[in-house]
Chain A
Amino acid sequence: MRLSLTYQGIPIWRHSRVLGWTAQIVSGIVVVAAVAFFIANLANAIDERDIPFGWSFLNREYSTPISEHLLPYQESDTFAYAFLVAAINTLMVSIVGVILATLLGIVVGAVQLSGNWVISRVATVYVEVFRNVPLLVQLFFWYILLLGLPRVSEGFVWLDSFYLSNSGLSLPAPRAQEMAVPWLLAVVVLIAISIGVRAWLARREERTGKPSYPLLGGVVVVVVGAIVAWFALGGEPFAISVPHPEGRFGRIVDGATLSTELTALLMGLIMYTAAFIAEIVRGGLQSVSKGQTEASRSLGLGTMETLRYITFPQALRVIVPPLISQYLNLTKNSSLALAIGYADLTSVAKTMTQTAPAVTIFLIIMLIYLSYSLTYSLIGNLYNRYIQFTGG
């Protein structure tokens, strides 16, 4: 018997390129077929079951109240504008929530690592309680807790300018005056200048070796410039409007009033997200090896300097990517506003489906949420690239 040593080649049904192409073609066809099937059904439903469809409703009057809105809104405004109002409401919750949750999260995360046993335990209990209970339960809890507060006339007052009662939280707020726009423009220009000043001082420091405080210089330019502009423009650009009770029932006027729903939503989102952020911060700080701190201390840097120049910049690289995804989660979780009746994007959209085509509304809110997500990811990724190791 002779052994054939001629190589026959891989049989066609096991050739990786053939298999790859087959997989692609098959999966492509399956998906296209499925999508076509859904769209055909949808078109069918639109035709036969008289399901409304189209974009024309966007110019119609929405004629439904939106309980709370940052932008001015009237019932005679169009659907398109109502979408904008709701989207801005969600954006506001998201931005305020992100800022406060980050601050609280950093504090709790740092306290967890504190040498003091009592407060580090308290921080751990906080984290384990708030991140393990569904946000919806927490929102309901805060909401009824706030509803259980005394009436406006008997509510809590702090420093004569913060009012908390069962109708919400009132706090001082800046009110734009006529010179607000020129002043803001001036500040924008100052910020641009300060970036240049900072770069120039940094170059000087590098060239001469003399400390030139580039960051401080930049900040001073903005602050001093803004103060000068404030008085030079003649007439204050902003007045602080302080809330105060008025009339027989002590209704709170002026300032900014957050409804009970919005206060509960913000409280819930902030406390919940801060628990996750605290864990991220703790993990990040712990990820910096102890040798780094020891080396820095032995080089003569103090505790604060070690934290500022050695530990924190390294921890930041670990912290930022999961932090961004927490920001996205907070933004998406703000849609639970629907459950307690704050007029965010999802809850307004849900109301809209009663008088307008649902298919179109869903497309629009999906696009708005996706654009928020992408914006956060983009900003986060840019910042992330900025703080990563640079070669060399």
Chain B
Amino acid sequence: MATADTWQPAPSLPAPRSERGWIGWARANLFANWLSGLVTVVTVPLIAWVLWRIVAWVFGTADWTLIASRPQQYLIGLYPTELAWRPLAGWLLVSILFGMAAAMWGGAARRIAIGYGAITLLLGILPYGMFHEGVVMPGWIRALIVANLLTMAVGYALGRSSHWGRPRTFVVGGIAIYVVLLVLLTGLPGMEQVPPRQWGGLMLNLILAVSGIFFAFPIGVLLALGRRSALPVVKILCVVFIEVFRGVPLITLLFMSQVLVPLALPENFPVDSVTRAAITITLFSAAYTAENIRGGLQGLHPGQAEAARALGLPGWQVTSLILLPQAIRNVIPAIVGQFIALFKDTSLVYIVGMLDILEMGRSIVQGNVQFADNGRELFIFVAVVFWIFTYTMSYVSRRVERHLGVGVR
């Protein structure tokens, strides 16, 4: 033992049992002090009881017939059944994008694609109306729904290929698919026309939300820049626009778009009530987006613009290459929050008499005596559907935020 010439500390003992493992966790998080312990002891049984009641209600008392017997109406509203292949074909195209995203970005995109595929498969094979009459979903519709998994696989293959799997292809393809979808839904000249008035269900909510986001973002950027512009006329116009649209409830604006706007347009002006509602929602959202982006622009150090100018960049490049990317990156959570709000606001189109998923369901409840007491089931179902989409959006936003390192530096 005399050879040991350097002193070695004894290896440290493991933490006491009460400080590690699940006991340690419980001591730190459930029973940190007497108050915390009391709260735990009181709330846990309460929560267990509430959860038990919920489970008992969902699988026992609740009667889901009003949803299980009419899946098609919740998906596409009163779109003619014999033409239902059109929205379904559009859906097949959209699935390509999910497959591509999963292949190109992996991680969160892949998880979302898997969830999306699972829900799609479930929609295709669920035994609707198993215990009740009134199954209105023909076999070919089921087949087309399940076929989404194939197009997802095609998209996945495209995303993997080095030639197609690029963000630019994805964006251009997305826009192209969106346009094709709208044309398909309306019907090409010569085909049977289905005007937007007859669109409905979840499809309508999604179309309104996607168009709203697609147009509200650029308009919002322009308004934000206009509001910060040194040109007084432009600035005043933007301020008035933003403040009027932000100061009045959306429901009032929608209502105006139905009563007032037709009067202010020439007679027989070819803009139907659905388009007017879509434009109103878009402009409303653009005003809020503009304020978010303005917040981002205000948060930037003036040195950024000065340095860019000193390097000789022309004004529009200072804005588009230096200021906007940083400003937008800093306000991603706020902008996504605004888009979530926009998606939730699509439920207001009932003002225009459109049958979105909520109003479709309400008309089913009101139109069928046997469902008169099933309002609760309906609203919970609609809430869950909306929640899946909004929660996914906020999940993506958190991932993107982390990826871009907002707030880390």
Contacts and interface: CB of A to CB of B under 8 A. Distances in A.
Instruction: Please classify how large the interface on chain B is, using the bins under 10, 10 to 19, 20 to 34, 35 or more.
Output: 35 or more
A216 interface: no
Contacts of A138: 383
27 contacts: A20-B230, A23-B231, A24-B231, A24-B233, A41-B266, A45-B267, A114-B36, A115-B36, A116-B36, A118-B30, A118-B44, A119-B39, A128-B391, A133-B383, A133-B390, A136-B347, A137-B347, A137-B382, A141-B376, A145-B376, A332-B248, A332-B250, A335-B251, A359-B263, A366-B248, A369-B249, A374-B247
Contacts of B248: 332, 366, 369-370
A307 interface: no
Contacts of B263: 41-42, 45-46, 49, 51, 358-359
B387 A122 contact: no
B386 A133 contact: yes
Interface in A360-392: 362, 365-366, 369-370, 373-374
Nearest to A373: B247
A338 B134 CA distance: 33
A129 interface: yes
A116 B39 contact: yes
Interface of A: 16, 20, 23-25, 27-28, 31, 38-39, 41-42, 45-46, 49, 51, 114-119, 122, 128-129, 132-138, 140-141, 144-145, 148, 328, 332-336, 338-339, 346, 349-350, 353, 358-359, 362, 365-366, 369-370, 373-374
Given A28-B233, A133-B344, A137-B347, A117 B386 contact: no
B233 A137 contact: no
Contacts of A133: 344, 383, 386-387, 390
Given A20-B230, A140-B358, 20 more contacts: A16-B315, A24-B231, A24-B232, A39-B264, A41-B263, A116-B32, A117-B29, A119-B43, A122-B47, A132-B344, A134-B345, A136-B358, A140-B375, A144-B376, A148-B376, A338-B251, A358-B263, A359-B263, A370-B243, A370-B247
B233 A132 contact: no
A16 B231 CA distance: 11
Given A335-B249, A350-B255, A140 B362 contact: yes
A20 B345 contact: no
Contact of A134 (B39, B43, B347): B347
A116 B40 contact: yes
Nearest to A143: B375
B198 interface: no
Nearest to A27: B234
A350 B231 CA distance: 39
Contacts of B244: 366, 370
B247 A132 contact: no
Q: Top 9 closest A-B pairs, CB basis?
A: A117-B29, A335-B249, A332-B249, A134-B344, A24-B233, A132-B390, A38-B264, A141-B379, A144-B375
B259 interface: yes
Nearest to A117: B29
Contacts of B387: 129, 132-133
Interface in B220-260: 230-234, 237, 243-244, 246-252, 255-256, 259-260
Nearest to A363: B260
A171 B361 CA distance: 34
Contacts of A115: 28-29, 32, 36
Contacts of B383: 133-134, 137-138, 141
A218 B309 CA distance: 56
B382 A23 contact: no
A118 B233 contact: no
Interface string B261-289: 00111110000000000000000000000
Interface string B369-384: 0000001100110110
Interface string B314-331: 010000000000000000
B186 interface: no
B379 A137 contact: yes
Contact of A358 (B259, B344, B390, B391): B259
A362 B233 contact: no
Contacts of B260: 358-359, 362
Contacts of A336: 251, 348
Contacts of B267: 45
Contacts of A16: 315
Contacts of B256: 362
Contact of B348 (A39, A49, A136, A373): A136
Contacts of A118: 30, 39-40, 43-44, 47
Contacts of A148: 376
B247 A365 contact: no
A24 B29 CA distance: 61
